[in-house]
Homo-oligomer: A and B are copies of this chain.
Amino acid sequence: MSQEKISQLKQKLSEIHDVNSATSLLIWDQEIFMPPKAAEGRGKQLSTLSTIAHQMFTDKEVGDILKSLQDQSGSLTADENKLVSETCHDYERAVKLPDAYVNEFALERSHAYNAWVEAKKHSNFKAFQPHLQKLTNLLHRRADYLGYEGASYNALLEDYERGMTVESLKPVFGRLAVEQSEIVKKVAHAPQPDFSWLAQEWDEDKQWDFTMRVVKDLGFDFESGRQDKSVHPFTTEFDLHDVRITTRIRKDDLFTGLMGSIHECGHGLYEQGFLPQDARTTLGKAVSLGIHESQSLMWENIIGGSLAFWKHYHADIQKLYGTQVKEVSAEQFYQAANRVQPSFIRVEADECTYNLHVVLRFEIELALFEGEIGVEDIPAIWNQKMKDYLGLDVTDDAHGCLQDVHWSQGYIGYFPTYALGNLYAAQMFERIQSDIPKLWDEIEAGNFSVLLKWLREHVHHVGRRMTALELIEHLTHSPLQPDAFLRYLKSKYGSLYKL
Q: Using CB atoms and an 8 Å cutoff, list the residues of chain A in contact with chain B.
A: 14-15, 18-19, 21-23, 25-26, 29, 33-38, 40-42, 44-45, 48-49, 52, 221-226, 228, 238-242, 280
Contacts and interface: CB of A to CB of B under 8 A. Distances in A.
Contact of A19 (B40, B48, B223): B48
Given A34-B242, A35-B225, 16 more contacts: A14-B44, A18-B44, A18-B49, A22-B26, A22-B45, A22-B49, A29-B29, A35-B224, A35-B241, A36-B223, A37-B224, A38-B224, A38-B239, A38-B241, A41-B238, A41-B240
Copy tally for this chain in the complex stands at 2
Interface hub of A18, A34, A228, A240 (most chain B Cβ within 10 A): A18
Contact of A35 (B29, B35, B36, B222): B222
Contacts of A52: 19, 52
A229 to B, nearest CB: 13
Given A19-B52, A44-B14, A33 B240 contact: no
A45 B238 contact: yes
Nearest to A37: B241
Contacts of A19: 48-49, 52
Nearest to A48: B18
Contacts of A26: 22, 25
A23 B239 CA distance: 15
A304 to B, nearest CB: 23
A223 B37 contact: yes
B238 A35 contact: no
A27 to B, nearest CB: 11
Contact of A239 (B14, B36, B42, B240): B42
8 contacts: A15-B48, A18-B44, A21-B41, A33-B226, A35-B241, A37-B221, A38-B224, A45-B239
A225 B34 CA distance: 8
